[in-house]
């Protein structure tokens, strides 16, 4: 199985209840990298803006409302006629979940990572079972909007799925119907459509519906313009004076916001769905640990995951005491957030106990190999607001040394490297995400800088990946924020090797889950050499080249601290965790091995520094939290960007300088 899963991972101690068994009525929807369905339409150049205008006029919907709703659902992309994680089709995200599920190619999941990442616990695995296709009547209305759009517009369902103009027409019909059902006239003033927009979200609670509508009207006020996946420029002019009638939500009959001790910003809709903290007997328990953060330990990282499951399965899993845990889940269709573990406690999500003990985990509904609609604009926006809130609360820098993908978390020791997960993968749009975080990735140094930060043009940069549906077969072309690394300044040169992933010395591959020769947007590396349109960086103890032409650069020049082995050392070891020295452990706390990874940081090589941290170990192997201890030593470490994943080196082994 491909190691793409984030949620579908092995349980920490008890035999795993399988994700498939828990999701007997859940949707494991298709991989977007599958070929678009037959008949999927490619719009003629310049036609998309006109299609929105004509559909808005026919149904009496303000054009700005139609454009803004579509932007929040799809950023005006058509996705090649392929469906989203909630079975949504086209720019208006009309949902037909049963059809999407019936056409789904095989789903790849089940990594081998121990999500807790602490060797004090045994690991057992379970098998995955198939998920049956649910009956249409068993699905909520928000997963069947295409059927209603067809009835309202008279357009056949197949056309709504495959023809962009028809899909836009169907979305306009749904908005017009929502306005009528609210007892309101088809006003030309977009401010009068707040309730209809809230209803379009499909949310069943007023907080989520309002958050969605607020985002739509933020788009209307600020305006947007972008080139879509069909190569067309669509523009929504800014209308900063629009003040929507927010009181309309009260008349929609939605349930009030769920009560609970959530720790979310007011700008998102957040509910409390707690993960269980339960003891099973014989010292076994799940599915997280009680702690006292940040008083006892600082929170230094935010880890971005994708769920590799739909929303219902996600919630089923996090509420299973024999499974694992994370702090927050985010829903694809409307950006709704559920919190499961208090921020003071430690969730089991990243596969590295040092990182788990000092991080917050965010799971985003979606599939690594299905990027377009899985990662909706609605979800990107609420996720970014949540991350900004967490970063401000815990003083976490908003950079890629601290906002990590699950695929950037290192293996704890050599034996765990192969099992580490690879989500959210090469299709997560880190550049867009950091713009939403208010920290766009821009140059901080001039030509010839000693550091570069990866930043290709996401839409135009489309390296070939394989294995999205079938091993060895090319994925559908798609924008990516990752660049491929070669042993020489040529696309024909072999890819660099990762001896942790392949101890036998085999080459890295173009597989979508192969992180062995990949650098992603926002990651910074020390420059080793420049030659024409190619730049070499220090990466996993070797020189790694990527195409970086001056006219279409895939990296920006940057500055920052770098380190190298101190004088007299030919190499220094690299670690996957920053644990204390043996003498720091008190009686009763087993000493944790400070075990180096198989890589070497060689003299003359330089790596960008992320943080300096004291060695730390959170001792929490039992249910009774009164015995939990934070062991803190004298040994200090630097976190570095060593490969695609971060790593740690001892401060005593290296010399730090400005680039």
Closest by CA to 231, choosing from 359, 67, 48, 430, is: 48
For residues 557 and 444, the answer to whether their CB atoms sit within 8 Å is yes
Alpha-carbon torsion (620, 624, 625, 630), positive or negative: negative
Confidence (pLDDT) at 53: 97
pLDDT in tens, 16-46: 333 333 332 233 233 233 334 444 455 455 6
Q: By 3-state DSSP, what share of the chain in percent is helix, strand and coil, each rounded to 5?
A: 25, 25, 50
| DSSP H or E stretch at residue 12 | none
Residue 41: the pLDDT is 53
The domain locations on the chain are 19-252, 441-559, 565-658
Residue 477 burial (CB count, 10 A):
13
Q: Which two tokens stand for residue 2?
A: 């491909």
In angstroms, the Cα distances linking 16 to 12, 100, 114, 342 are 8, 28, 12, 24
Architecture of the CATH domain 19-252:
Orthogonal Bundle (1.10)
Running DSSP on this structure, what letter comes out for residue 185?
Answer: -
What pLDDT sits at residue 121? 61
525 touches 608 (CB < 8 A): yes
Structure tokens at 205: 């609670």
By residue count, the chain amounts to: 659
DSSP conformational letter for 155: -
210-225, pLDDT tens digit by residue? 999 999 999 999 999 9
Q: Which residues contact 492 (CB under 8 A, 6 or more apart)?
A: none
- pLDDT score at 313: 85
pLDDT confidence of residue 165: 96
Structure token pair of residue 148 = 């209603």
The per-residue pLDDT for range 89-107, each reduced to its tens digit, is: 899 999 887 776 665 443 3
Residues lower than pLDDT 70 in the chain = 1-46, 85, 100-113, 120-138, 368-374
Q: Which pLDDT score is estimated for 370?
A: 65
Distance CA 350, CA 410 (A): 9
Burial (0-12, 13-18, 19+ Cβ within 10 Å), 270: buried
Helix (H) or strand (E) holding 633, with range, is strand 629-641
């Amino acid at each position: 199985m491909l190691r793409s899963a984030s949620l579908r991972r092995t349980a920490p101690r008890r035999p795993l209840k399988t994700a498939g068994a828990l999701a007997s009525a859940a949707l494991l929807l298709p991989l977007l990298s599958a070929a678009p369905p037959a008949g999927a339409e490619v719009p003629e150049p310049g036609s998309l803006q006109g299609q929105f205008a004509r559909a808005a006029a026919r149904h009496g919907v303000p054009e700005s409302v139609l454009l803004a709703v579509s932007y929040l659902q799809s950023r005006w992309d058509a996705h090649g006629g392929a469906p989203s994680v909630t079975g949504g089709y086209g720019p208006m995200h009309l949902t037909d979940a049963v059809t999407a599920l019936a056409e789904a190619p095989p789903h790849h999941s089940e990594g081998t990572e121990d999500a807790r990442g602490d060797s004090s616990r045994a690991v057992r695995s379970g098998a995955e079972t198939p998920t049956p296709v649910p009956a249409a009547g068993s699905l909520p209305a928000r997963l069947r909007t295409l059927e209603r759009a067809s009835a309202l517009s008279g357009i056949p369902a197949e056309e709504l799925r495959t023809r962009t103009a028809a899909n836009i027409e169907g979305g306009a019909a749904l908005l017009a119907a929502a306005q009528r059902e609210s007892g309101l006239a088809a006003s030309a003033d977009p401010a009068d459509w707040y309730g209809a927009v809230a209803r379009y979200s499909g949310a069943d609670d007023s907080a989520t519906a309002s958050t969605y509508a607020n985002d739509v009207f933020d788009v209307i006020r600020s305006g947007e313009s972008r080139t879509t996946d069909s190569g067309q420029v669509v523009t929504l002019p800014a209308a900063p004076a629009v003040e929507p009638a927010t009181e309309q939500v009260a008349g929609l009959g939605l349930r009030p916001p769920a009560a609970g001790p959530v720790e979310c910003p007011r700008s998102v809709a957040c509910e409390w769905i707690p993960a269980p903290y339960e003891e099973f007997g014989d010292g076994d328990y799940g599915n997280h640990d009680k702690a006292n953060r940040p008083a006892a330990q600082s929170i230094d990282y935010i880890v971005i995951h994708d769920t590799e499951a739909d929303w219902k399965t996600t919630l089923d899993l996090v509420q299973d005491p024999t499974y694992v845990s994370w702090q927050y889940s985010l829903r694809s269709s409307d950006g709704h957030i559920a919190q499961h573990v208090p921020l003071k406690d430690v969730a089991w999500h990243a596969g590295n106990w040092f990182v788990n003990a000092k991080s917050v985990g965010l799971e985003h509904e979606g599939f690594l190999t299905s990027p377009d609609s899985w990662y909706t604009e609605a979800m990107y926006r609420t996720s970014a607001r949540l991350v900004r809130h967490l970063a401000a609360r815990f003083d976490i820098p908003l950079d890629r040394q601290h906002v990590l993908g699950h695929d950037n978390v290192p293996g704890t020791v050599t034996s765990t490297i192969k099992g580490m997960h690879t989500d959210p993968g090469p299709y997560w749009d880190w550049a867009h995400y950091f713009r939403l975080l208010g920290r766009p990735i821009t140059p901080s140094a001039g030509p010839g800088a000693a550091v570069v930060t990866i930043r290709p043009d996401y839409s135009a940069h489309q390296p070939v990946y394989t294995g999205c549906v079938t091993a060895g077969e090319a994925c559908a072309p798609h924008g990516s924020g990752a660049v491929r690394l070669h042993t020489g300044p040529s696309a024909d040169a072999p890819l660099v090797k990762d001896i942790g992933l392949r101890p036998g010395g085999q080459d890295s591959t173009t597989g979508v889950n192969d992180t062995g020769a990949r650098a992603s947007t926002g990651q910074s590396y020390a420059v080793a050499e420049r030659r024409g349109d190619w730049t070499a960086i220090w990466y996993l103890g070797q020189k790694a080249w990527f195409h970086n032409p001056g006219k279409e650069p895939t990296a920006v020049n940057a500055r920052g601290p770098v380190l190298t082995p101190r004088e007299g050392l030919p190499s220094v070891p690299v670690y996957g965790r920053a644990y204390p020295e043996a003498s720091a452990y008190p009686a009763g706390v087993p000493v944790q091995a400070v075990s180096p990874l198989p890589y070497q940081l060689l003299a003359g090589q330089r790596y960008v520094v992320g943080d300096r941290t004291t060695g730390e170990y959170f001792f929490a192997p039992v249910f009774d939290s009164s015995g939990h201890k934070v062991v803190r030593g004298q040994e200090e470490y630097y976190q570095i960007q060593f490969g695609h994943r971060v790593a740690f080196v001892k401060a005593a082994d290296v010399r730090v300088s400005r680039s």
